[in-house]
């Protein structure tokens, strides 16, 4: 071993029974995650959001480039700005841009261009994909597998928030370019997801949809 490598720490080794039980319990926990579209305005300590974003930053990434940036929006003024711009895009989407097939597929969710949750929820997390890096001298440097890496980081972020009872909505107002403009992000970053985070409003209902069965998604060879 040289100083380019360090000893792997903190990988607990459980008995077979324990590992099966723990994996089942974690599945039960994650199986209760649902996308929420009605949020309470109740405040959440910002440290919780910072910890969840730190957890997202533990994600693997192509050549460890960590090609992500998170903008945590808590300012009411900024949330309003984002809502106005998102609703403008979504109005166009629902009335003109979306295909008939797409609108049909969205029917179970009863979504439309109105996005009040963008102002009600205490936090919006806007995730940016860093397509390439800009070195201090202004030169471009490569990032790799940016979509895969940012997707993984977002999955870990949703898991971290669900773990502490914070509900999320992965929102993709289409197109999302306005987010880069409003939030003044550099040109090497592209908006990836707008994640709404907060406690669910009391009495929240969610679409009655089903998850695929294991035999539909898994082949063991
Ligand atoms: C990439 C992505 C984009 C999504 N965009 C929207 C969206 O713009 N609006 C919305 O209401 N839900 C959106 N969703 C949420 C999905 O509709 C939801 O995850 C799906 O119906 C499964 O429901 P569940 O998350 O409750 O299991 C999106 C989900 C993903 C992964």
Render pLDDT for 19-32 as a digit per residue (tens, 0 to 9): 999 999 999 999 99
Asked if residue 149 has pLDDT above 90, the reply is yes
Check pocket membership of 102 for ligand 1, CB cut-off 6 A: no
Ramachandran angles phi, psi of 200, nearest 5°: -70, 145
DSSP assignment string, 157-184: HHHHHHHTT-EEEEE--SS-HHHHHHTT
Beta bridge partners of 130: 189
Coil, helix or strand at residue 126: strand
How does pLDDT run across 49-70, given as a tens digit for each residue? Answer: 999 999 999 999 999 999 999 9
Check pocket membership of 35 for ligand 1, CB cut-off 6 A: yes
Check pocket membership of 74 for ligand 1, CB cut-off 6 A: no
Cα(170) to centroid(ligand 1), Å: 5
Closest ligand 1 atom to the C-alpha of 36? Answer: 26
How does pLDDT run across 84-104, given as a tens digit for each residue? Answer: 999 999 999 999 999 999 999
Q: Span 191-209, mean pLDDT?
A: 97
39, 148, 171, 195: which to mutate for ligand 1, most atoms within 8 A of CB? 171
27, 34, 35: which to mutate for ligand 1, most atoms within 8 A of CB? 35
All structural domains of the chain, each given as residue ranges with its CATH number in brackets, are: 34-200 (3.40.109.10)
Share of the chain above pLDDT 70, in %: 100
Report which of 76, 67, 159, 91 is spatially closest to residue 123, judged by C-alpha positions: 76
Check pocket membership of 83 for ligand 1, CB cut-off 6 A: no
Check pocket membership of 34 for ligand 1, CB cut-off 6 A: yes
Cα(65) to centroid(ligand 1), Å: 27
Coil, helix or strand at residue 4: coil
Q: Which residues contact 1 (CB under 8 A, 6 or more apart)?
A: 7
Quick one: tokens of 50? 């910072």
Ramachandran angles phi, psi of 95, nearest 5°: -90, -30
Question: Burial of 74 by CB count in 10 Å (0-12 exposed, 13-18 middle, 19+ buried)?
Answer: middle
Check pocket membership of 51 for ligand 1, CB cut-off 6 A: no
- Specify whether the CB–CB gap between 146 and 62 falls below 8 A: yes
Quick one: tokens of 92? 């166009």
**pLDDT score of 2:** 73
Cα(35) to centroid(ligand 1), Å: 6
Closest ligand 1 atom to the C-alpha of 207? Answer: 26
Check pocket membership of 204 for ligand 1, CB cut-off 6 A: no
**pLDDT score of 110:** 87
123-130 and 189-198 beta bridge pairing: antiparallel
């Amino acid at each position: 071993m040289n100083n380019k490598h360090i000893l792997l720490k903190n990988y607990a080794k459980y008995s077979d029974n324990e590992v099966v039980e723990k994996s089942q319990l974690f599945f039960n926990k994650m199986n209760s995650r649902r996308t929420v579209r009605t949020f309470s305005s109740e405040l959440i300590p910002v440290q919780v959001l910072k910890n969840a974003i730190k957890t997202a930053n533990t994600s693997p990434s192509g050549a460890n480039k960590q090609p992500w940036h998170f903008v945590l929006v808590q300012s009411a003024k900024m949330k309003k700005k984002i809502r106005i711009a998102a609703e403008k895009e979504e109005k166009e989407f629902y009335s003109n841009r979306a295909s008939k097939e797409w609108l049909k597929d969205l029917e179970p969710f009863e979504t439309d261009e109105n996005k009040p949750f963008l102002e009600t929820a205490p936090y919006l997390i806007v995730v940016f994909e860093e397509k390439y890096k800009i070195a201090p001298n202004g030169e471009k440097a490569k990032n790799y597998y940016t979509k895969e890496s940012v997707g993984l980081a977002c999955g870990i972020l949703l898991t971290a928030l669900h773990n502490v009872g914070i509900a999320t909505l992965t929102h993709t107002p289409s197109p999302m370019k306005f987010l880069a403009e409003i939030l003044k992000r550099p040109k090497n970053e592209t908006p990836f997801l707008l994640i709404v985070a907060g406690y669910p409003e009391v009495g929240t209902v969610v679409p009655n949809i089903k998850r695929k069965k294991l035999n539909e998604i898994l082949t063991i060879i």
